[in-house]
Structure formats: C-alpha cells, structure tokens
Amino acid sequence: MKPTSLAEPRTSAQWLPDVVLGFENLTNHKLRSLLTMLGMIFGVAAVVAMLSIGAGAQQKVMAFIEQLGVRNLIVEAKEAQNSQELRKVRKISQGLTLADYRIIRENMSDVKEGTPRKRIRPTKILPKPQQDTPMVYGVEPSYLEIRHLRVSEGRFFDGADNSASAPLCVLGAAAKDSLFGAAPAVGEYIKLNELWCHIIGTVGPQLATQTEVSGVPTEDMNNIIYAPLNSVLYRFEDSQSWLKDEIDGMYLRLASPDRSITDAGVVRGILNSSHHNAGDFNVIVPAELLAQQKRTERLFDTVMVAIASISLLVGGIGIMNIMLAAILERTREIGVRRAVGARKSDIIRQFVIEATLISFAGGLLGVVVGFAMSQLIAWLAGWSTIVTLSSIFLAFAVSISVGLIFGIYPAVKAARLDPVEAIHYE
C-alpha cells in the first residue's frame, strides 16, 4: 500500500478517524464539554436574538415608509398648541393654505398628482365608537392612489362628490370595526359633530408605527374616516379651528422618485418664501427616509453583532482554556502517538478538530436557543421579531471561526511537546 505523501491532501476517509476520535474524547467528558459549549451557545443565541429584534423593528418601519410612497412628498403643518404660540407664528405666516398648494402645482411640473389635507377630530360622533374616536381626513379623490389605499367594500368618493361638498365618507378598517363591529357599514349613516354622513365604502388595513418617523404624525392610520376635502372645509364645525391652519398637510406625487430630494428643496423654497421663513411646516421625503433607514439598519446590525460577539469571545477563551487543560491530561497520549510515527500536523489537526466540534455543537444549540429566545421576546413584549437566514449564517460562521482561532494555539503547543518527555510525563 502506498504511504501518504506529506504534500498530498488528506481524503475524507483519512479525516474521518480523527473526527471520530475527537468526538469520543469530548463525550468522555460530557459535563466539561457542555460547560465549555455554554459560552458559544449563549453567544450565538445573543447574536440571533438581537438581530431578530432589530430586523423585526426595522422591517416594520421600512414597510411603513414604503407605504408612504417613494414617489411622494408630504408636507405637514406644525400646528400651534396654544394661543400665544399661534399669535407669534401668525405675525409672520398665515400657515398652510390652499393657495400654497395651488402655487406648488402651478410651478412644479414634476408633480403629477396631489391633494391638500384637512384633519378634524370630531367632538361628537354617532354611533358611539367602541375604541378611540376616529380622526376625519378631508382629502381629494387622488388620495386613494397617492397613498395606495385599497377599497374593500363600496367605493371611494370622486371629483363630483368633492365639487358638491357631498356629505359622504369612507371608513378605515379600525374605524369601521369600532363603529359597526362585524355588521356591514356601507349604506349606513354616521353623525360627525352636527353633520350626518352617508358611508359609501371602507378601505383595507394599513401599517402604522408606534413612534414618530421623521415628522410623520404618530396616529392609527386605520382609525380614520375619509371625507371629501370641500365637505370638511365647508360643512364641518371644528371648535379648535382658530388654532389651526386652513389645511394641515399636502400629498404630492412625483413623476419619478429620482428627483424627490431636489423637488423637496423646491417645495421648501416656495413655502419659505410665502411663509417668510416661519418654520411652521415640515417636508417629508419618503425616498430619503427609506435610504436613511437602510443605513441605520446596517449600523444597528453592526453594533448588535459587535456587542453579542463579546459572548462568543468569552466562549472562545473557554475553548482555549479547556484545550490547554486537555493537553496536560493527555501529555502521555501525545508522546505515545509521536513515538509511533504521528507527525506534528497530525497532533495539531486532532486538537483543532476537537475545538471545532465544540464550537460546531455550540453553534447549532445556540441557533436553536436564539430562535426560541426571539419567539419568547415576541410573545412576552409584543414586539415583531424576524429570524433571518443571514443572522443564523453569520452567528454560526463566527462561532466556527472562534473555535478554529482559539483552538490553534493549544494544538500547536501540543504538537511542540518533546515525545520522550511526554512519554515519561506523570
């Protein structure tokens, strides 16, 4: 039989005995091996769980931003909270008005569609809602396409309804459930302040965030009643209207998202000119928010992995410690193997395999524990968590790498033992 040359790579059949021997050495000290794995298990579990929390939160925010529309620009008024603040601002600016909207449409060819918005919180509503009082949105029919609303029952109001200031409305998903429960709502009437409105449709659910996203109002986008803009402006009574602008928002749909940042600068310039730099509005660019959120997600993932990797580092130190202890226990064995012809590379390979087996097993168990932790966090805290394949691969790859790196030094030390001294070691 031809002997294996030093330069020839070892085949899988030649590696298998080393793997079997390494597995036997680990199972002979089950408790010690398990305790050594704990650092890897908790390190991998921490990486998987923390990345799943970050991925869940980021996905929800990014989906909400995408829902705003990457081709849209949104202008939000900064509403005065009291009469003193209102008087101070009104000395400089009249606030957002329909004239502002018309000027923007006339001077910006990139704006293909748009709608002003007027919000009102009714003081009286019948039937009485079971949850929070819905907000009334006065918008033009183009809002349906600009915000990607999906009509689930009936229809949305059209241009004729808006021109006639018709007392019509469309219910959001949560508003419909709060007012009518499981009963059909289309065709019914609701009383908003002193105005009876005919319900002509309902829209499907929308995403919402629990925290403010760069100026976007934090409100339940499902608990909304949509009505024609002219109906809200001319038919509704609002006891707090003296504190508010003529309109409180605009939605502008651009021909292309590529010029959204440039067009946002033009909108700011037009409004700053007519508002005399009063700073009483915000221009929100969803395309810019989306890019910023992606950068934030990458930074968050990097920081989370760096923090969780500390546990993996501790686990690697534990592997090195236990391998050094194993060398002392098996010094005589190493000497005998060297005496019967084992090379230094054979000794190094044996101890590296054992270190890798520990990190491999710890990595597998860590992935399982990390997945369970993410599900437990989602259940207890009510957060959205997502375990991604990339987070599993990253955590597992790092655990294997740590095992290799921290197993090399003990393996080299074992290979450098003098065979004669090792055989006589007690």
Q: Confidence class of residue 161 from pLDDT cuts 50, 70 and 90?
A: very high
* 146 has pLDDT over 50: yes
Residues 53 and 149 in one domain: no
Query: pTM of the predicted model, to two decimals?
Result: 0.64
Residue 13, pLDDT score = 55
Token pair, residue 242, equals 């003296």
One DSSP character per residue, 60-118 reads HHHHHHHHH-TTEEEEEE---SSHHHHHHHHTT---S-HHHHHHHHHH-TTEEEEEEEE
Cα dist from 69 to 11, 253, 287, whole Å = 56, 8, 8
Residue 248, pLDDT score = 86
Structural domain range at position 159: 79-279
* 141 has pLDDT over 80: yes
pLDDT tens-digit series, residues 22-68: 777 777 777 877 887 887 888 888 888 877 877 776 666 666 666 67
Closest CA to 104 of 242, 349, 281, 241: 281
Burial 158-171 (b: 16+ CB within 10 A, else e): eeebbeebbbbbbb
The average pLDDT across 308-331 equals: 77
Q: Confidence class of residue 6 from pLDDT cuts 50, 70 and 90?
A: very low
Residues 105 and 228 in one domain: yes
Residues 216 and 267 in one domain: yes
User: Which residues are 125's β-sheet partners?
Assistant: 192
Which amino acid is residue 264, in one-letter code? A
Nearest-5° angle of CA 180, CA 195, CA 171? 35
Using DSSP bridges, classify how beta strands 195-203 and 189-192 pair: parallel, antiparallel or unpaired: antiparallel
Residues 20 and 148 in one domain: no
Residues 143 and 53 in one domain: no
Residues 248 and 325 in one domain: no
C-alpha–C-alpha distance, residues 309 and 40, integer Å: 10
Residues 271 and 300 in one domain: no
Residue 71 placed within a domain: no
Closest CA to 43 of 302, 301, 298, 318: 318
Contacts of 95 (CB under 8 A, 6+ apart): 77, 89, 244, 245, 246, 275, 280
Residues 262 and 305 in one domain: no
In this predicted model, which residue has the larger pLDDT, 213 or 41?
A: 41
The average pLDDT across 263-280 equals: 86
* 72 has pLDDT over 50: yes
Whole-number CA gyration radius for the chain:
33
Closest CA to 178 of 222, 112, 213: 222
Residue 356 placed within a domain: yes
* 4 has pLDDT over 50: no
Answer with the one of 252, 279, 306 that is the final residue of a domain. 279
Residue 218 placed within a domain: yes
Residue 228, pLDDT score = 95
pLDDT tens-digit series, residues 330-385: 777 777 877 777 788 878 887 888 888 888 888 888 888 888 888 888 888 777 77
* 2 has pLDDT over 60: no
- H or E stretch at 408: helix 389-415
User: Which residues are 282's β-sheet partners?
Assistant: 76
* 424 has pLDDT over 70: no
Residues 274 and 296 in one domain: no
Nearest-5° angle of CA 348, CA 349, CA 353? 120
The average pLDDT across 213-225 equals: 74
Cα dist from 227 to 128, 164, 166, 168, 169, whole Å = 19, 12, 9, 6, 4
Contact 354, 29 (CB under 8 A): no
Residues 165 and 94 in one domain: yes
Residues 399 and 310 in one domain: yes
Residue 278, pLDDT score = 82
Left (φ > 0), alpha (ψ -120 to 50) or beta: where does 143 sit?
Answer: alpha
User: Which residues are 197's β-sheet partners?
Assistant: 190
Residue 284 placed within a domain: no
What percentage of residues in the chain have a pLDDT greater than 70? 85
Maximum average pLDDT range among 7-16, 22-31, 391-400: 391-400
In this predicted model, which residue has the larger pLDDT, 33 or 223?
A: 223
Residue 8 placed within a domain: no
Answer with the one of 246, 279, 312 that is the final residue of a domain. 279
Residues 146 and 271 in one domain: yes
What percentage of residues in the chain have a pLDDT greater than 90? 18
Q: Confidence class of residue 162 from pLDDT cuts 50, 70 and 90?
A: very high
Q: Confidence class of residue 132 from pLDDT cuts 50, 70 and 90?
A: confident
Contact 168, 229 (CB under 8 A): no
Residue 5, pLDDT score = 43
Which amino acid is residue 137, in one-letter code? Y
Answer with the one of 249, 279, 309 that is the final residue of a domain. 279
- H or E stretch at 202: strand 195-203
Q: What's the total number of domains in the chain?
A: 2
Average pLDDT over the chain, rounded to an integer: 80
The average pLDDT across 193-197 equals: 89
* 190 has pLDDT over 90: yes
Residue 307 placed within a domain: yes
Residue 285 placed within a domain: no
